[in-house]
Amino acid sequence: MVSAIATTSTASPRTGSPLHAQAAPAVLGTAIVKVFGLSVAMTGLSESAARRAGLNVQTAYVTGGSHAGYYPGARPMQIKLVYEQPTGRVLGAQIVGGDGVDKRIDVIATAIHFGGTIDDLASLDLAYAPQFSSARDPVHIAAFAAQNQLRGITQAVAPMETGDELLVDVRTPGECQGGMLPGAVNIPLDELRDRMGELDRNRRITVYCQAGLRGYIAQRILQQHGFADVRNMKGGWSLAANVMPAPGSCAGPMTVRK
């Protein structure tokens, strides 16, 4: 974020009287571009830029719909929200998706301009109709995820930050036929309560699903049954598939992470 130092001081075209000098507002670098069928947008600081600036940074990744899923034509939209710890101040965001990316990035840019926090984003009263958005807009969902992380309700980790923990894929077998992370074991969410005895309570566990919601539910279930060290993977498989090594398959033998 760059603060412009230029000022303006001109005479009123109507009265001729001098106007007060006013500093130009901060420049957030808000931008959007169309890449084939995708809209890609950003505002404020990226995670790496915020870290270089010495800020205590955390991120939330979510996938939402461009509008309500039951209304025809909805397309997925991925949001990365960058915020400061422990204040919750919104620092930046990047969004990739179809329709509605421009609206969401402008909402977040406005929040940054006024020094808004993730709590402010979560409480915004945004326009809703099924053809335009869901009752909980993707901006709300991103803010909710950030709130859960900041308040310690959930521990979340980016796919790139995983280590030698046990990875548990809670998607259905059909979903992960298209690939899963190396070394992961598949226990669908609907079977987790009956099969949690297969998991080592003394080992760190990272759960993931397609986008993050089922992973969050699985994390809460395991924590409520005495698993002390459970994390949810930010962005789920939809993010991990683009940043992690070549995946294995649910149907094949489980590989061991080296």
Strands 76-84 and 57-65: antiparallel
- The CATH number assigned to the domain holding 220 equals 3.40.250.10
Same domain, 132 and 163: no
Two tokens at 57? 């940074």
Domain membership of residue 235 (yes or no) is yes
Helical (H) or strand (E) element with 236: helix 236-243
* Predicted local confidence at residue 27, as pLDDT: 85
Same domain? 163 vs 130: no
Query: 30: Cβ–Cβ under 8 A, 6 or more apart, which residues?
Result: 41, 42, 43, 44, 105, 106, 109
Clarify whether residues 73 and 97 are in a common domain. yes
Q: Is residue 1 part of a domain?
A: no
Domain CATH code at residue 116: 3.50.50.60
- Mention every residue, 6+ apart, whose C-beta is less than 8 A from residue 208: 159, 167, 168, 169, 170, 181, 184, 215, 232, 233, 236, 237, 240
- Sign of the C-alpha dihedral computed for residues 54, 58, 62 and 67 taken in this order: negative
Give me the number of domains the chain comprises. Answer: 2
**Residues 28 and 146 placed together within one structural domain of the fold:** yes
Helix, coil or strand: residue 120: helix
Within-domain flag for 253: no
pTM over cut 0.95:
no
Query: Is 17 domain-assigned?
Result: no
Q: Which of 150, 175, 195 is the last residue of a domain?
A: 150
Q: Which amino acid is at 242?
A: N
Same domain membership, residue 161 and residue 138 = no
- Among the listed residues 42, 109, 118, 209, the single catalytic one is 209
Q: What local confidence, expressed as pLDDT, does residue 178 receive?
A: 87
89 and 175 housed in the same domain: no
Asked, for residue 255, whether it belongs to a domain, the answer is no
**Residue 249 placed within a domain:** no
Q: Is-catalytic flag, 209?
A: yes
Residues 152-201 have pLDDT tens digits of 999 999 998 888 899 999 999 999 888 889 899 999 999 999 999 999 99
* Residue 10: predicted pLDDT: 57
Could you tell me the residue range of the domain that residue 116 belongs to?
Answer: 24-150
Written as tens digits, the pLDDT of the chain (258 aa) is: 544 434 445 555 666 666 666 777 778 999 999 999 999 999 999 999 999 999 999 999 999 999 998 999 999 999 999 999 999 999 999 999 999 999 999 999 999 999 999 999 999 999 999 999 999 999 999 999 999 999 999 999 999 888 889 999 999 999 988 888 989 999 999 999 999 999 999 999 999 999 999 999 999 999 999 999 999 999 999 898 887 655 444 543 333 232
- Residue 80 in any domain: the answer is yes
Note whether residue 121 is domain-resident: yes
Same structural domain, 36 and 145? yes
Which domain-ending residue is among 150, 184, 213?
A: 150
47 and 82 both lie in a single domain: yes
Q: Which of 116, 132, 150 is a domain's end point?
A: 150
Do 165 and 100 fall into the same domain?
A: no
